[in-house]
Amino acid sequence: GAVVSQHPSRVICKSGTSVKIECRSLDFQATTMFWYRQFPKQSLMLMATSNEGSKATYEQGVEKDKFLINHASLTLSTLTVTSAHPEDSSFYICSARDWRGGLDTQYFGPGTRLTVL
Amino acid sequence: AQSVTQLGSHVSVSEGALVLLRCNYSSSVPPYLFWYVQYPNQGLQLLLKYTTGATLVKGINGFEAEFKKSETSFHLTKPSAHMSDAAEYFCAVTPVDSWGKLQFGAGTQVVVTP
């Protein structure tokens, strides 16, 4: 299957700093990527839809000024957590939508563990 | 609004025994349905999905699931568990008119004992 990578896999930062997480589709172009977060013992929650060349669309309750999403190329979307606080500590997972061959499939990255001290 | 319920956060099954993971959804219109598996330190991998057509769907690694509209269910089964099936399993749905926006269940951790 297709490969989606995330970088970094783990990050620890101080409260008030900003953290950038990258999501890359390695062997296909993805016009649409999705960002999810997962708290311990909980399910994945969709945060936003990232569209190449246009603004991201955010789910209800997700602060767009806090979670900045940039999808500047067909293989890269970035999520920046601005002025991070301990409550932002979570597991962030991206997925990329693959339309090749007429099949519409989402491939997920391995996730990024963010810890805010 | 739709929701996904997975019964049982942890399931222990003996090697060779039947694996049954339950998933029910709540939606005014039947959504598209998915099962994903997550191995430690890896991304979610699609096991199978139901969109239209035959309600019994076969996936990878010997798994299958049946969509039952009357029961709003999409339970996942495998006749004989292998040690390699130990992982976390997620049921997910996406609205027909908003494809891609997955809503996940809480997940079920499967432990396989020798």
Task: Please list the pLDDT of chain A residue by residue as tens digits (117 residues).
Answer: 668 999 999 999 999 999 999 999 998 998 899 999 988 777 889 999 998 888 999 999 999 999 999 998 999 999 999 999 999 999 999 999 887 777 678 889 999 999 999
Looking at residue B96, what is its pLDDT?
76
- Percent share of chain B, pLDDT over 90: 71
Element (H, E) at B58: strand B56-58
The Cα angle at residue A62 between residues B99 and A110, in degrees rounded to 5: 65
Looking at residue B1, what is its pLDDT?
67
The Cα angle at residue A23 between residues A20 and A26, in degrees rounded to 5: 145
B7 touches chain A (CB under 8 A): no
- CA end-to-end span of chain B: 42
B109 touches chain A (CB under 8 A): no
Cβ pair A79, A20 in contact under 8 A: yes
Pick the range with the lowest mean pLDDT from A25-29, B12-16, B62-66, B71-75. A25-29
Among B32, B102, B103, most A C-beta atoms within 10 A, so best to mutate, is: B102
Looking at residue A58, what is its pLDDT?
95
Encoding tokens for residue A51?
């569209």
